[in-house]
A and B are shown apart, each in its own frame.
Chain A
């Protein structure tokens, strides 16, 4: 018991049995989460899985319908004002004022957080330069690009140097270069000692940033572990092969099963095989075996498992569901 309490003292977030119900839909259905101080927890799941709803409950933006949550030991439902003093929230859609300039936004939030006029201005200037936004300081947010908005949004969350940062899909909709910059920024925050809880739809993002990943589906946690643990569930990487002669698909599948000891997954397009590899090096074994069997290949590629493959392996169903209820549950 004593040990347990010591353990809990090192937790930035501790949630047990979180529940959120929207009318008849249980958008979040009994989720347990723990984030250790200084760690990054990635909450991975498809659209409508309940990630945003869960984050909003932890950030005091939505009332908690069931279960409990503590942030640095403070109960979220009982002391929201205290929790708000420790948390910076960056939303999925930029939560800054469209009509104000970048600088005015940061000064406004600084003043709201109790900084003096002078402090609010100097903090705004410092943050704008840290985030490479100095040249856009006097522009209204309306004229900002998607990447600039996200950066300003993140800057606005850091005015009071919060020890815990919630990031809701920080790179959704960003181009690859801006995405890389955002990742760098998040890594720098973690190096400074911040604790981060981020939601994402991308396995590679969780892989890049998170110490631990919780996979969420239909409001429930279906798996949790380090990125490596999760990936071994689905094979470290996937070899995708497309045959020249689609008639020989079954023959190729049997060959793969012989080489790796496991059946490949046939892709929807004819003549395609997705082969989960325990180790990327085994791709060569498969390809050599195919050459020897004179199986012509039109394309071959080795890649990381996609979120959908992780999902399929963990839940037995695909992640892209046309579920109107689930989509409604996102809000």
Chain B
């Protein structure tokens, strides 16, 4: 044994709660852990690589002719839609992963450490930005390859990309919360599907909303995913900062403000 590994009496004073700086360092450490895990399990990237490739091609050729007359003229509508859909699927995985992780012994240690309770939740959420980034980039690239020429130019495309990634991060808190309340990873998957399908399909992602019945249009309009898609279309196709962008940002902020505290509370109580 090397020099003393323990102290005899506790070092005083003891902090009553972690400071903001400590919380950030702890979150960064947890994000580092999540990135190491991703590198060791590359299959975690399947959904964010295969889905953009597959869905973009599939939906464009299936719906393109019927909705917009041709696949090519459908691209400006569908690319922002697929962007939202793939990131939403990717953030569903955040909740499932967290639930699986929480059953492991290492989470007992995380709970026993004097760290901010939000760090084990926020760390993976930040690491997942990488996954959303990959999903968004691939979707846009596949769009280019199929002939999508966004009118908003580079700035517009970058804006749409950033908004998508930010929206993914925000909505992931819903699934993180589900991860902290569900009993098993399978349960998270099941419940998440129930959230995800209405959020993606009851939106303007694939078709114009004018043909929908009135009550459905009402839901589609308040669906934050629709706002993100409107905003992405405005940014990428027209290069314009419209009120939709503001609504999308506000919607994301509200989701984080509601679900992040809920998730932290239920995680802390679970101990």
Contacts and interface: CB of A to CB of B under 8 A. Distances in A.
Given A85-B14, A86-B10, A163-B6, A140 B33 contact: no
Contact of B30 (A112, A158, A189, A192): A112
Interface string B29-71: 1101100110011000000000000000000000000000000
Interface string A57-71: 001111100000000
Nearest to A149: B105
A96 B111 contact: no
B236 to A, nearest CB: 37
Interface in B78-104: 104
Contacts of A126: 2
B12 to A, nearest CB: 9
A310 interface: no
8 contacts: A37-B9, A82-B16, A84-B115, A96-B109, A98-B104, A111-B29, A161-B5, A164-B10
A162 B6 contact: yes
B36 A100 contact: yes
Contact of A163 (B10, B16, B112, B113): B10
B7 A161 contact: yes
Interface in A65-96: 72, 74, 79, 81-82, 84-89, 91, 93-96
A200 B18 CA distance: 34
B26 A85 contact: no
B25 A130 contact: no
Contacts of A108: 29, 32-33
Given A108-B29, A194-B5, 8 more contacts: A61-B111, A84-B113, A84-B114, A91-B109, A98-B106, A163-B7, A188-B5, A192-B1
B211 interface: no
A193 interface: yes
B26 A99 contact: no
Interface of A: 37-38, 59-63, 72, 74, 79, 81-82, 84-89, 91, 93-100, 104, 108-109, 111-114, 126-127, 129-130, 140, 156, 158, 161-165, 185, 188-189, 192-194
Question: Closest 5 CB pairs between A and B?
Answer: A193-B8, A194-B6, A111-B29, A84-B114, A95-B109
Most chain B CB within a 10 A radius of its CB, from A81, A94, A163: A81
B14 A96 contact: no
A112 B1 CA distance: 24
A121 to B, nearest CB: 13
Most chain B CB within a 10 A radius of its CB, from A97, A129, A156, A193: A97
B241 to A, nearest CB: 39
A82 B112 contact: no
A162 B271 contact: no
A158 B1 CA distance: 13
Nearest to B41: A99
A59 B107 CA distance: 14
B8 A194 contact: yes
Contacts of A97: 33, 37, 104, 106
Contact of B5 (A59, A130, A140): A130
B15 interface: yes
Given A60-B271, A84-B112, A111-B32, A163 B105 contact: no
A85 B4 CA distance: 18
Contacts of B112: 59-61, 84, 87, 89, 95
Contacts of B5: 127, 130, 158, 161, 188-189, 192, 194
